[in-house]
Chains A and B, each alone.
Chain A
Amino acid sequence: MTGSALDAVPAGILSLAEDLTITAANRGMGEIVGREPATFIGRPFDALLSMPARILFQTHVYPALKADGRVEEVFLTLKSELDGVSTPVLLNAVRHDTTAGGYAAVLVRIQARARWETDLLDATRALELERSASQQLATELAGAAADLATRHAEEERNHAFRDAFIGVVGHELRTPITTIYGMSQLLRRRFWTMDPTLVAQHLDDISEESDRLRRLTEDLLVLSRAEGRKLAVGDDPILIAHVVREAVEQEAARAPDHAFSVDAAAALPIVVGEETYVEQVVRNLLTNAVKYSDAGTPIRVLVSTEDGGVAVRVIDAGPGVSPEALEHLFEAFYRAPEVRRSAAGAGIGLFVSRELVEAMGGRIWAAAAPRPSVKGSEFGFWLPAAVEVDDD
């Protein structure tokens, strides 16, 4: 090929055998490679390529050339013997239309264009990086904002909790204290002149209000412990029916106008927990039942074996609980709208009861009174039975 008119062409022109051995080259090819054509004629074409280009050629270009009979605009780099810097070229190759086979190839050097393409690629990559970085930043920002919102909501909850707490202390504690204070002042001044039945009545009032104060204090103690998430539970064996009967007796004495009944199944399993907690829960449920149902209506207490534990249900014949209120009953300081005016209360009894029951591994619920009752509500809780341990 050298010595022909093709030598004047400003591109590398190659003739390749079927196995891609170089059979002829023009002078332009020699110029691109920086060697006399005679030094690479007879060598495989890919020997001219840089290492990366050899891989690309062997894996991508050669199979395509072999099958399609042509490749176009393939970007490759040539190995440079001179300065070690590889020369970028575009390769077009096509199969000879002869029986002998083989290929004709043209290589055009694309120095300036390759630089531009590399810059373009780099810029695209930098953009891509920047985009993913800003995306990540946006994600992080969104995460931080969500964190802040959570913390803010938490703080608001704490504020609301504290406000409600202060409200309860202000109102619910003040009422009995005022009564106790007033009555005791009255008794101190007029004890000797007062009608003895009136004295007895005032003393009863003082006793009743002290008891209310005592129970409220117990609930508040649980409340403050629950807020700090440190409700410790003992592991006393508890005979629930016994605890229930005692609590009902006390409540019945306090509310003689209601008709209490206890229906406890025989052979109830023993539960494990803190007996004073169980008492407190039963008492809370009973007090609620009394508070929210009319005098003269019955309050039934059912104790049964259920689901590997013991269930206690306090069923009243009051107006029942609205579905809307059911969802919030066990939240701290919640008072159902329908009872806010009609009955005093702090909205902590049920919350405290739930905390106590759950701390002992049980669950608590509120529902409409079971059929055939047409009105009234059921408040119940369930505690798991003690796991029997062989003591041998």
Chain B
Amino acid sequence: MTEDTLRRLAVRETGNPAGAPMLFAHGFGCDQSMWRFITPALASDHRIITFDYVGAGSSDRSAYDAERYASLDGYADDVLQIVRALDLRDVVMVAHSVSAMIAVLASIAEPERFAQLVLVTPSPRYLDDLPEYRGGFSPADIDGLLQMMDVNAMGWAAYLAPVVMGNPDRPELADDLEATFCSIDPSMARQFAQVTFLADNRADLGKVTTPSLLLQCRNDAVAPMSVGAYLAEHLPGSTLQIIEATGHCPHVSHPDETVAAIQAYLATQDERAVITA
């Protein structure tokens, strides 16, 4: 079970084995390789755990189950399986994009496992729910995205196919994919997109007891400022930090600022813990 979990989700450990555990969950459209810009800077103090969701990177794509991953709960359960498999406590969970809500769900399910959530460009709901909520997207935008993914998949599938179908005769193809950044199975990516962009986790926010850092980018098309403000107001125990960055992936575009923000936040939390103690 344990080994199966670690293999299925391609769990990798680096950093300081004696350090506080830091679990990194990649977002929609990428795999665990996206963390490589910031993990080296955190490796001396932390035990670094990264993984790929089923369908991404070098996860076991044959384990993909459309029913299990028809909602974010299936993904949250994967996170909990990793945490249990490695018997992690006091985890600092760093979660990007859609993973932020996956982390929220996981921490609600087993709060005793998590010490801190670092939510990078999170959004509890991508679709607008006007007038009271502005997520940034209309249903037509999501349809357009899915269509565009389908068109791109016609091309992507050409190089993804060997791995998707499994080709034991040509293992070098898998190696090629290892080297390819952010490889995702197109059909799985499509369902992940649907689940992600149609999810509404606003009602879950109030149940969170784990303190959190919200890393918001100044100019993010996917998670606009209005969403960051909403989260800061509705997620109990959250601290909003705005990074002067354009885009949705500050850990890729602005790794130094991102690391600094995480470290500064964790330091203040440690201080607070010391004072409280």
Chain A interface (Cβ within 8 Å of chain B)?
Answer: 19-21, 44, 46, 50-56, 58-60, 62-64, 66-68, 73-77, 114, 117-118, 120-121
Q: Which residues of B contact A76 (CB under 8 A)?
A: 148
Which residue on chain B has the smallest CB distance to residue A53? B148
- A44's nearest neighbour on chain B, judged by CB, is B246
B154: interface (CB < 8 Å): yes
**Which residue in B142, B151, B253 is a CB contact (below 8 Å) of A75?**
B151
- Pick the 3 closest A-B CB pairs, nearest first: A52-B144, A59-B29, A67-B181
Consensus secondary structure, chain A interface: helix
| A19-B182 in contact given A53-B148, A114-B151 (Cβ < 8 Å) | no
- B180 in the interface, Cβ–Cβ < 8 Å? yes
How many A-B residue pairs have C-beta atoms within 8 angstroms? Tell me: 99
Which residues of B are in contact with A by a Cβ distance under 8 Å?
A: 27-30, 33-34, 36, 97, 137-138, 141-145, 147-152, 154-155, 180-182, 184, 197, 219-222, 245-249, 252-253
Residues of A close to B138: CB separation below 8 A: 51
**A20, B30: Cβ atoms closer than 8 Å:** no
Residues in A with CB closer than 8 Å to B181 are 63-64, 67-68
List, sorted by A's number, 9 A–B pairs whose CB atoms are closer than 8 Å. Answer: A21-B246, A54-B222, A56-B149, A58-B221, A59-B97, A62-B249, A67-B34, A75-B155, A77-B144
- Give CA–CA (A266, B68) in the complex, Å: 61
Point out the residues of chain B lying under 8 angstroms from A63, CB to CB: 29-30, 34, 181-182, 249, 252
* Interface contact A67-B221, CB-CB below 8 Å: no
Pick the residue among A52, A58, A121 that contacts B249 (CB under 8 A). A58
Chain A positions within 8 Å of B152 at CB level: 56, 74-75
The closest CB in chain B to the CB of A59 belongs to B29
Nearest CB in chain B to that of A19: its residue: B246
**B34 contacts A121, C-beta separation under 8 Å:** no
Tell me the smallest distance from the CB of A46 to a CB of chain B, in Å. 6
Asked whether, in the complex, the Cβ of B247 is within 8 Å of the Cβ of A62, the reply is yes
* Distance between A243 CB and nearest chain B CB, rounded to angstroms: 58
Which residues of B sit under 8 angstroms from A51, Cβ to Cβ? 137-138, 141, 144, 221
A20-B247 in contact given A55-B222, A63-B29 (Cβ < 8 Å): yes
Complex contact B246–A56 (CB within 8 A): no
Q: Which residue of chain A has the shortest Cβ distance to B144 in the bound complex? A: A52
Q: How far is the CA of A267 from the CA of B221 in the complex (A)?
A: 86
- Bound Cα distance from A44 to B34, whole angstroms: 22
What is the CA–CA distance of A255 and B36 in the complex, to the nearest angstrom?
Answer: 96
In the complex, what residues of A have CB within 8 A of residue B36's CB? 67
Nearest A residue (CB) for B158: A73
Structural contact, A118 and B222, CB atoms closer than 8 A: no
Scoring A50, A58, A114 by chain B CB atoms within 10 A of each residue's CB, the highest score goes to A58
Q: Find chain B residues with CB under 8 A from A53 CB.
A: 144, 148
**Complex Cα distance A114/B148, Å?**
10
Q: Please, which residues of chain A bring their CB within 8 A of the CB of B144? A: 50-53, 77
Which residue of B34, B97, B148, B245 contacts A52 across the interface (Cβ within 8 Å)?
B148
Q: CA–CA, A101 to B207, complex, Å?
A: 45
Is A118's CB under 8 angstroms from B141's CB? no
By beta carbon, the residue of chain B nearest A121 is B150
Closest to B143 in A: A52
Please name all residues of chain B whose beta carbon is closer than 8 Å to the beta carbon of A117 when the two chains form the complex: 151, 154
Residues of A within 8 A of B30 (CB): 59-60, 63
**Residues of B with C-beta under 8 A to A67:** 33-34, 36, 181-182, 252
For the complex formed, measure the closest distance between the CB of A18 and the CB atoms of chain B, giving whole angstroms: 9
CA distance A62 to B222 in the complex (A): 13
Establish whether residues A68 and B180, one from each chain, have CB atoms under 8 Å apart when the complex forms. yes
- Known interface pairs A59-B27, A59-B29. Does A52 touch B141 (Cβ–Cβ under 8 Å)? yes
Q: Name the distance in Å between A347's Cβ and chain B's nearest Cβ.
A: 51
In angstroms, how far is the closest chain A Cβ from the Cβ of B110?
Answer: 28
List chain A residues, Cβ under 8 A from B184: 60
Nearest CB in chain A: distance from B20 CB, A: 27
Is A64 in contact with B145, judged by CB distance below 8 angstroms?
A: no
Check A64 against B155 for contact (C-beta < 8 Å). Answer: no
Interface contact B151-A118, CB-CB below 8 Å: yes
CB-nearest residue of chain A to B220: A58
* Closest residue of A by beta carbon distance from B27: A59
Residues of A within 8 A of B29 (CB): 56, 59-60, 63
Point out the residues of chain A lying under 8 angstroms from B222, CB to CB.
54-55, 58-59
Contacts of B148 in A (CB 8 A): 52-53, 56, 75-77
